[in-house]
Amino acid sequence: MHTINIPDDIKEQYRYAIEKAREDRPRYFDWIKNEIETAINLINQFDKICVIGGLGARLIKSTPTFYNQFLATYNGPDKHEIQEDELINEDDEIEILLEYVMNLATATPNSNKGVIPTQDDIEEIYQQLSKIKSNINFWELSAENPVGGNEFDHWLRTNIMQDTINVRGDGYHIHIQELYQEIFQPFDGFLQQYYGFDSKDIYNTILKLDTLVYSKVGNPFGATQSHKRLTEWMEEVGEELIMETMMKTGKHFIRQFTEANPDLYDDQAPDSVVSHHLNRVESYEKVFWVIPQTAKEQLIFNKLSIQFGDNDVFFQPPKFKGFPLNDTLINLKPLLKENDKYYHFSMNLAFRNIFKITEELIKSADAVFYDNSFKGNSNSNSRDNYIEQKTKKQFEKLLPTAQFFHSLEYHVVENGQNKKTELDILGVSNDTVYIIEVKAGELNTKHRRGAIKGLKDRLEETINEGSYQCHRALKYIQDNPNPTFEYVEGGTRKTMSIDKSKIKSYFKISVTFEHFSSISANLKYLINSGVLSPDFKWTWIVSLYDLMIFADLIQSEDEFKEYLTHRIALYDRNDIEFMDEIDILGFYFENRFPLGQEKEDELIHIVNYKDEIETYYTRTGVGIPGSIKPTKKPLTK
C-alpha cells in the first residue's frame, strides 16, 4: 500500500512557496509571460519544421510499438545485444510539449525556413517549454479561491485545468475505435453528401498517418512499415504493370515504388528505400512528410491541416499570449501544410481528437442537423441514444447473470403531485438491483479553462442530476411494496415488478460520456463545492470508457459487487487520495481491500496501481500476442 507521511518541514516549505507566489502574483505572472516570449523567440530563430520535428522524434521514441513492446518482453539468450535506443524512452511530458510547440509555432509564419537547429537547440526549447508548463501548473495552484467560492471550488477548477494542460486521454485505443465507429456510422451518408468521404475514411486515414511516418524511421519496426507500404503499392499497381515498366524503362521495382512515394526517395540512392535516424535534424522534413494516396485522402488532409500563421488565435488575448489553455486550431486540424506538403508530427493528436474532428465536420455542414439529429434524443441513431444503448450492452457483458431493462417509466409523488418520470437502465439479478443513469453531457473549452460557474453548472447537469435520478428511483423502490416499471420492447409496452423479498443489495450507478477523472472519483470535494447533494453521494460515478474496462476484466457478479462495496465506502474516508478509477480497480486486483481504520496524519495514496492494466491494453493494442489479462490476485497469508 502506498502510504505517505509528509514531514512537517516539507509541508511548511510547500505552504511557504504557495504564500510567496500569492504575495506577488502579478510579478509571477509577468515572469511567466517573459518565459513564453523567450520560448517563442527560440522557436522563431529556426526552420519550424525542424523544431517541431525535434520534439516529434522524441514522441516517436517514447511511443509504444509492436517492436519496442516485443523487446521489453523478450528473454532470449541474446537479450543483452538489444541496443538502448531500440527500447522505449519514457517521457511523461513529450506529448504535451510537442503540442505546445506546435501551437506556438503555427501562430506565426515560418520566417527562417532552412535555418537548421542543432540537437542542443532543440533540447533548450524542450527545457524552456517544460519550465513554462510546470510554472503555469504552480501558478494555478497558488491562485486564490474563485470569487464567491471556497477552497473546494479552487480544487475543482485546478483539477480540471491540470487535466487539460496535462493532456489526459479518455480511454484506450481499442475502446475509442469501437465507440467512434459505432457512433458515426449512422451519419456516413450525411458526411459523404457534404464532403465526399465518411467516418470510416476519416478513421482509416488518421490511422494510416503513423505508418506513413514510421516507415521512414531507421529501425526494424520502420522497415516493417516501409515493407507494408511496398506491398500495398504492388497490390494496387499490379505485378504485370510493374514488370512491363521495368522492361520498358529499366527501372527496378523499388525505383518505381520510391518515385511513386517521394517521401521514401533519395537522390543519392534512387534504387533503395530511404530510412532516417531520429537524431538527424536534417531528416525531419522527410520523416514527417505525409502524402495522400487517394482523392479521398487528399480531401481529408485538406480538412485536417493548417499552415504557419493560421493559428494566430493561440496568441489571443494579448494578456495571455501563448498560454497553454488558449484557443487553438490544432485539435481540429492536426496536420501542418507548407508549400503544398503535409506534415504529421504527433502520433496521438489526430486520433485523440477524432470525435471532435468528425463532430465539427457535421456541425459545420449543418448546425441544425447536428443539434437535432446527431445529438439529443429525437433521432434513434443519435449519439446520446447510442451512449445509453452502449451502456446497457456493457452491463450485459459485465453481468451476464442479470437482466437489464432500458428507458423505463414509473410514477412518483413530488410536492403532492403525481408525476411520471424515467430511469435509463434497471438491472436485476438473483439478489441485487442496479439502478443506472446515463449522462452524455461534455465539458467545453471554457469549462476546461476553469470558468467556475459554467463548470459547476455542467457538473450539476451530469454528476449531480444523474446521482439524483438514481436516488429518486431507489427511494421509489424502497417506499413501495410492489415497485413497478413500464418499458417498451419490440414495439410492445410491458411492465416489470421487483420482488423485494429476494433483493439483498442495491447499487446506484451514474455513467458519463465525459471522462471526469479525479473530479468524479472524489465526491466529497464536489459536495463541499455545492455541486453534489450529500443525499446522493452513494452513487458510483464512472465514465463509459472506464466501464468498458470493467466489462473486459471483472470475472463475475460477486467480484463486481465486492468492488463496488469497497469503492463506495471510500466516499466516507478522509485519508484516501486517488486520481483515477482504474487505479482503484488495480488496487482491488492487488487484494488491498478491505482497508483498516483511519490513522491520524497518514495518507493512503492510491497511485500507479493501474500500471498492469495499462500494460495489458498497450501490448494488446500494438498486437503483442499472449498478453495476460489482469485479474484479481489470490489472497496471500
Instruction: Give the residue among 215, 216, 206, 171 at the shortest CA–CA distance from 349.
Output: 206
Residue 4 has pLDDT above 60, yes or no: no
At 603 the pLDDT is 79
Query: Are residue 104 and residue 20 in the same domain, yes or no?
Result: yes
Residue 385 has pLDDT above 80, yes or no: yes
Last residue of a domain, one of 104, 135, 165: 165
Sequence-distant (≥ 6) Cβ neighbours of residue 74 within 8 angstroms: 82
For residue 212, is it within any domain? yes
Q: How distant, in Å, are the alpha carbons of 57, 85, 106 from that of 284? A: 8, 18, 17
CA 467 to chain centre: 24
At 111 the pLDDT is 97
The H or E element that residue 242 is part of is helix 239-249
148: left (phi over 0), alpha (psi -120 to 50) or beta: left
Cβ atoms of residues 215 and 264 within 8 Å:
yes
Q: What is the distance between the alpha carbons of residues 33 and 319, in angstroms, rounded to a whole number?
A: 9
Q: What is the distance between the alpha carbons of residues 168 and 177, in angstroms, rounded to a whole number?
A: 17
At 169 the pLDDT is 63
The three cell numbers of residue 119 are: 540537437
pLDDT-derived band at 3, boundaries 50, 70, 90: very low
Instruction: Give the residue among 73, 66, 60 at the shortest CA–CA distance from 623.
Output: 66
Query: Are residue 345 and residue 443 in the same domain, yes or no?
Result: no
Query: Are residue 157 and residue 256 in the same domain, yes or no?
Result: no
Query: Are residue 230 and residue 355 in the same domain, yes or no?
Result: yes
At 9 the pLDDT is 66
The mean pLDDT of 559-577, rounded to a whole number, is 91
Instruction: Give the residue among 48, 60, 350 at the shortest CA–CA distance from 216.
Output: 60
By mean pLDDT, which of 16-30, 58-72, 88-102, 309-323 is the weakest? 16-30
Residues composing the chain: 637
Q: For residue range 278-325, list pLDDT tens digits in order.
A: 999 999 999 999 999 999 999 999 999 999 999 999 999 999 999 999
Sequence-distant (≥ 6) Cβ neighbours of residue 393 within 8 angstroms: none
For residue 336, is it within any domain? yes
Residue in the structure block whose three cell numbers are 456516413:
188
Query: Are residue 619 and residue 485 in the same domain, yes or no?
Result: no
For residue 374, is it within any domain? no
Residue in the structure block whose three cell numbers are 498497450:
618
The mean pLDDT of 264-280, rounded to a whole number, is 89
For residue 378, is it within any domain? no
Q: For residue range 234-257, list pLDDT tens digits in order.
A: 999 999 999 999 999 999 999 999
Q: What is the distance between the alpha carbons of residues 222 and 229, in angstroms, rounded to a whole number?
A: 11
Most confidently modeled range among 134-138, 153-157, 494-498: 494-498
At 279 the pLDDT is 94
Query: Are residue 206 and residue 308 in the same domain, yes or no?
Result: yes
By mean pLDDT, which of 141-150, 341-350, 406-415, 455-464 is the weakest? 141-150
Last residue of a domain, one of 165, 182, 206: 165
For residue 372, is it within any domain? no
By mean pLDDT, which of 39-48, 131-140, 222-231, 467-476 is the weakest? 131-140
Contacts 24+ apart (CB under 8 A), 361-365: 361/191, 361/194, 361/195, 361/202, 361/303, 362/187, 362/190, 362/191, 365/190, 365/191, 365/194, 365/195
The mean pLDDT of 424-446, rounded to a whole number, is 92
More confident residue, 347 or 408: 408
Query: Are residue 579 and residue 568 in the same domain, yes or no?
Result: no
Q: Is the dihedral of CA 530, 533, 539, 544 positive or negative?
A: negative
At 38 the pLDDT is 98
Residue 184 has pLDDT above 90, yes or no: yes
For residue 107, is it within any domain? yes
CB count, 10 Å around CB of 385? Answer: 18
Query: Are residue 517 and residue 601 in the same domain, yes or no?
Result: no
Residue 70 has pLDDT above 90, yes or no: no
State the pTM of this model: 0.92
Instruction: Give the residue among 104, 100, 169, 170 at the shortest CA–CA distance from 137.
Output: 100
Residue in the structure block whose three cell numbers are 486517488:
578
The mean pLDDT of 423-445, rounded to a whole number, is 93
pLDDT-derived band at 554, boundaries 50, 70, 90: very high
The H or E element that residue 239 is part of is helix 239-249
For residue 598, is it within any domain? yes
Helix/strand/coil for 373: helix
Write out the residue range of the structural domain in which residue 581 sits: 574-637
For residue 220, is it within any domain? yes
Average pLDDT, the chain: 90
The 8-class DSSP code of residue 590 comes to: T
CATH code for the domain in which residue 401 is found: 3.40.91
**Torsion of the alpha carbons at 470, 471, 473 and 477, rounded to the nearest 10:** 130
Query: Are residue 480 and residue 398 in the same domain, yes or no?
Result: yes
Q: What is the distance between the alpha carbons of residues 409 and 427, in angstroms, rounded to a whole number?
A: 14
Q: For residue range 588-633, list pLDDT tens digits in order.
A: 999 999 998 888 778 788 888 999 999 999 999 888 888 899 999 9
Instruction: Give the residue among 279, 328, 321 at the shortest CA–CA distance from 119.
Output: 279
Query: Are residue 161 and residue 255 in the same domain, yes or no?
Result: no
At 441 the pLDDT is 85
Number of structural domains found in the chain: 4
Query: Are residue 82 and residue 30 in the same domain, yes or no?
Result: yes
Query: Are residue 259 and residue 347 in the same domain, yes or no?
Result: yes
